[in-house]
Amino acid sequence: MFNRGDAYNHWTRSQTPDECYSEAAENGCQIEVRAREGASGVEVLVCVYAADGERVVERMETLSQDEWTVEDALQRGRDQAERIAGGESGRLPCADAGQRQTE
């Protein structure tokens, strides 16, 4: 079970269909990325959870529909999540149990 936060809960309030990618990283972190067409652009939700289900990062952003497709936005979110899960910038509690950061 994941410790879901406000960004995830906000995302699920909408019944708009989305594309989803999920992965278990080698270090035990769980990655979940979602993308969908929104009223003001392509919306992306990037989630990374520690092996124990605690939230590392959960954030939403809206990208320009003129520049991004849902598929491209999903890939961008996946790339971001994989870097976070891999410990980029020391932000990963899976790799550094001393700190947890939530966005």
Predicted confidence at residue 88, as pLDDT, reads 73
3 state DSSP class of 103: coil
- Tens-of-pLDDT digits for all 103 residues of the chain? 899 999 999 999 999 999 999 999 999 999 999 999 999 999 999 999 999 999 999 999 999 999 999 999 999 999 999 999 988 754 444 444 443 444 4
Predicted confidence at residue 1, as pLDDT, reads 84
Q: Is the pTM of this model over 0.85?
A: no
- Structure tokens given for 82: 């994989």
| Burial tier of 87 (Cβ tally within 10 Å: 0-12, 13-18, 19+) | middle
